[in-house]
Structure 1
Amino acid sequence: MIRSGRADVSFDGIRTEFGLPSSFPAAVLAEAEAAVSRDPGDRPDLTSIPLVTIDPPGAKDLDQALCVTKSPGGFTVHYAIADLGTFVTPGGPLDTEVRRRGQTLYLPDGNVPLHPTVLSEGAASLLPGVTRPAVLWTFECDAEGKPTSVEVRRALVRSTAQFDYAAVQESFDAGTPHPSVAALAEFGPLRRAYARERGAIELQLPEQEIESNGSDWRLVTRPRTEVDGWNAEISLMTGMAAAEVMLEAGVGVLRTLPDPDPEAVKALRKSAAALQVPWPDDLSPGAFLAGLDAGTPEALVLFTDATRLLRGAGYSAFNGEVPELTTHAGVAAPYTHVTAPLRRLVDRFATEVCLAVTSGQDLPAWLAEALPRLPSLMGASDSLAAKVDRATLDQVEARVLAGRVGEEFDAAVLRSNENDAEIFVAEPPVLAKCSGKNIPEGERIRVKLTEADPAERKVRFERA
């Protein structure tokens, strides 16, 4: 969920309700300021690699920069990740504070950052035109887009340009992509095909986006471009490679998700049959979902139902004995987080594990001590982020619809029970409850707005 802009209406009530910090302690800010000028140490100068970043418009906390080119055997992928290990002293005030926060929280009127912005939007961010310390992953891939060799090391890098998703997509559509990403048009589809081959599960539900219209907020849906998917595959490939490094070494922290419950798959097949959407017996849930037309009400219903397949996500830390569950069902492979250290706590620690074991070094004591604590820290942080996201959306949905009680809207029925249903209204894009008995799933219906209360963050419809 991406939010941008400024408006007069604040979300202070949500900040208060969830106890979100409004600033950093003085000792944390002092350490961050001092870290800005810290010597990154002896590392190779790889600023000649023409890296670029692709992020939402206006983003300043740039975690990743990439360069994808054709090679004689297939492809070479350079993926630079912001190196927070350069700036954060283990056990210091900054480390203590970011462990408490867990991740950056995004609200429309301003973020609650994981790190002080002097780092996350300054010295550690892979901003264009400046040399930065980074962790550089280099993949040599075959003609099918599968890695044949992987290298990870600290380096100095320089991003040559900052792009947003829409601009990059437009450049591909016009046939004029930047040379550093031109090969994505071939490499990305290969990786997406490999994901389907593995059985990865992707839910293409509408993405609600909050943006400013000057004095207030509005809801829009941002279409997912091909570039979104291609870029995501680079991050996923890196997370999969990092997980393999950890499993081979017998130490690390994985992002895990159990395989779908057979009853959930059975229920999804039942929904598909009821909606008259063919699902061949030999097709995995991931391949079936990937083949749906995301713009149809039937697909929206099935994507909503498929959320039941992706339950039980967590983190698993280990040092010596590999855990029983090592895979992530959504990715359909072992996976870990290493590509967003500016915005997520666990990535810094997972990256340090990979750097240590690939260089043949033992884990430093502070890192070995921290690993067992990461699952609970990240679990609490993920839970808080989900609640803040939901409260924010609820408030904006109610505000956008305030004053329109009694009006009718077109809606698609996503999920239904005896007395009400979950619906998606396309304009404005709102997910809400709708009263009515036995409303058929997958149908387009007319609904009437009966409640829109921004103070209570409540929206309610009834079948018209």
Structure 2
Amino acid sequence: MPRTPAGDGLGAAATCGAETDFAAVRAELGLARDYPAEALAELERPVAGLPGRRRDATDLPLVTLDPPGSRDLDQAVVLQRRRSGYRVHYAIADVAAFVTPGGALDAEARRRGQTLYLPDGKVPLHPDGLAEDGASLLPGAVRPAVLWTFDLDSDALPVRVSVCRAIVRSTARLDYRGVQGELGLGVAHPSIELLPEVGRLRRKQAAQRGAIELGLPEQQVEPDGAGGWRLMLRPRPAVEEYNAEISLLTGMCAAEMMLSAGTGVLRTVPDPEPDVVAGLRRSADRLGVHWPSGTSAGGALAALPADRPEALAVHVAAARLLRGAGYTAFDGGAPAQTGHAGIGAAYAHVTAPLRRLVDRFAAEVCLATADGRDVPRWARDALAELPSAMGGSDRVAARVERACIDQVQAWSLAHRVGAEFPATVLRSANGSAGEVYIADPPVIAPCSGVPGEGSRVRVRLVRADPDTRTVAFEVA
């Protein structure tokens, strides 16, 4: 998972003018705005046939923790002390309670694959009436959920895992910014006061697993308050990383559950080949970055200071370690490829069913496995189709994100052609063409005449074309 580097440029913004939407991006990529009427009509009819009884867990003081303003609330959590360890209850929206298998809503969700986020509005996986209302774990509302319970030891390693269908009621909607501020004051909501403690232990476990995390700048587009848009680096509060560890814990336990049953779908990234790791080590040596003998790639990356330009170049080069990401479905035994190199373990998506198609089906496999019953036919039959559906939607999501960022970069810099900026060389090909990172405004773009990776240079803006969404620099 990316980590935003500290140092120069954090929070810097590039503001564009009167442009107000991303209609050209939507048109170019064929993004639908409206949901089919027949799919919306299905939301008015109850779904029957879900197996098992629901546990009444409305007494749990669950809370949601998301970006400010979120309404599609997939997860709610409460952490408790348990002798020398911890107990974590993690409720996930039960989307299967609202979607009829084989119906119009199911078909449209399979076509979309995931929610796509644009600065001027999202293209949702599910209708807002489901994702932001009926199935969302909004505070005070009684909702169906898939409830995971983890008993962790003193190192935050799971010693007991259970999952069942339940009825839950979230008690509060919290956001990262507010919780991070409260933690800075030494206070926290009682339901998550143990989150930093457990989160730090889980991050320590990630390092021991050899998880590979890329410390790359995360560009983000947001409104500038004057009808336009600005480009910023997205700060990642520590509490967001801690919260992500609960989701990762769930995904790893779900993967182990599916592997034991011989049926499921995993999110997989193959381990990098030894020659790829050796190549990265050579790049680090050329940049003067120390890589201790015997240290894994993940450990070496985690130890790099985020504000050094040569360290940023190493992280960019390290992206080659995480090639080949995809989904692996299996039925009748564990597949040959089970691991996720970025996490350092087998992993499955089960915690965001409102926003991602695969989670609904993966959760159903886990529920059936925990109950000792057969996976429902509607879920089992879908497994083979999910890798293609999710892979296609991942590619569209990446294109949407890149197009929106490119658009705002071009809007923001169109009036500054000829200006010079300090920059860090991220990539260099044949010692001339490459890519640079500018901290203020936060821009990543092609540049000609660059020296070696990790170098600090001054660059001149030679092109910023909003019509083609292209920005280019040359070494000044």
Q: CA deviation at 1:39?
A: 11
Write out aligned runs for 1:23-422 (5 A): 23-35=34-46, 42-214=53-225, 215-418=227-430, 419-422=432-435
Which one scores higher on RCO, CA 8 angstroms, separation ≥ 6? 2
Residue aligned with 2:170, SS: strand
* CA–CA distance in structure 2, aligned partners of residues 225 and 10 of structure 1: 28
Q: Which amino acid aligns with 1:320?
A: G
Gaps of 5+ in 2: 3-17
* CA–CA distance in structure 2, aligned partners of residues 417 and 96 of structure 1: 45
Residue aligned with 2:380, SS: helix
Cα separation, partners in 2 of 1:284 and 1:39, compared to 1, 3 Å: closer
Q: CA deviation at 1:321?
A: 2.4
1:425 aligns with 2:438: yes
* CA–CA distance in structure 2, aligned partners of residues 139 and 454 of structure 1: 50
Tell me the percent identity. 58
Q: Deviations over 1:200-254 (max 9, x none)?
A: 0011211111100131000111222211211111110000000000010110001
Q: CA deviation at 1:36?
A: 9.7
Q: Deviations over 1:22-78 (max 9, x none)?
A: 211110011124359999984122111111111111111111111112211301111
Name 2:447's counterpart in structure 1.
Answer: 434
* CA–CA distance in structure 2, aligned partners of residues 36 and 162 of structure 1: 27
Q: CA deviation at 1:18?
A: 1.0
Q: Which amino acid aligns with 2:466?
A: P
Q: CA deviation at 1:16?
A: 1.1
Q: Which amino acid aligns with 1:305?
A: A
* CA–CA distance in structure 2, aligned partners of residues 62 and 125 of structure 1: 5
| Preserved CA contact (<8 Å) 2:148 2:162 | yes
| Preserved CA contact (<8 Å) 1:447 1:461 | yes
Write out aligned runs for 1:12-31 (5 A): 12-31=23-42
* CA–CA distance in structure 2, aligned partners of residues 18 and 36 of structure 1: 33
Q: Deviations over 1:364-404 (max 9, x none)?
A: 22112111111111111111111111111111111111111
Cα separation, partners in 2 of 1:430 and 1:360, compared to 1, 3 Å: same
Q: CA deviation at 1:134?
A: 0.7
Q: Which amino acid aligns with 1:402?
A: A
Gaps of 5+ in 1: 2-6
Residue aligned with 1:343, SS: coil
Cα separation, partners in 2 of 1:8 and 1:404, compared to 1, 3 Å: closer
* CA–CA distance in structure 1, aligned partners of residues 312 and 47 of structure 2: 47
Q: CA deviation at 1:440?
A: 2.0
| Preserved CA contact (<8 Å) 2:74 2:93 | yes
* CA–CA distance in structure 2, aligned partners of residues 156 and 447 of structure 1: 58
- Identify which range, 295-304 or 237-246, moves more after superposition: 295-304
* CA–CA distance in structure 2, aligned partners of residues 415 and 190 of structure 1: 34
* CA–CA distance in structure 2, aligned partners of residues 37 and 21 of structure 1: 29
Cα separation, partners in 2 of 1:8 and 1:162, compared to 1, 3 Å: farther
* CA–CA distance in structure 1, aligned partners of residues 22 and 45 of structure 2: 32
Query: TM-score normalized by structure 2?
Result: 0.94
| Preserved CA contact (<8 Å) 2:47 2:97 | no
Name 1:4's counterpart in structure 2.
Answer: none
* CA–CA distance in structure 2, aligned partners of residues 416 and 317 of structure 1: 38
Q: Deviations over 1:239-281 (max 9, x none)?
A: 0000000010110001111101222211211111111111112
| Preserved CA contact (<8 Å) 2:146 2:165 | yes
| Preserved CA contact (<8 Å) 1:36 1:123 | no
Q: Deviations over 1:176-217 (max 9, x none)?
A: 011111111211111000000010001121111110013100
Q: How many residues align?
A: 459
| Preserved CA contact (<8 Å) 1:33 1:118 | no
Q: CA deviation at 1:317?
A: 0.7
| Preserved CA contact (<8 Å) 2:47 2:99 | no
Q: Deviations over 1:336-371 (max 9, x none)?
A: 000000000000000000001110111122112111
| Preserved CA contact (<8 Å) 1:76 1:138 | yes
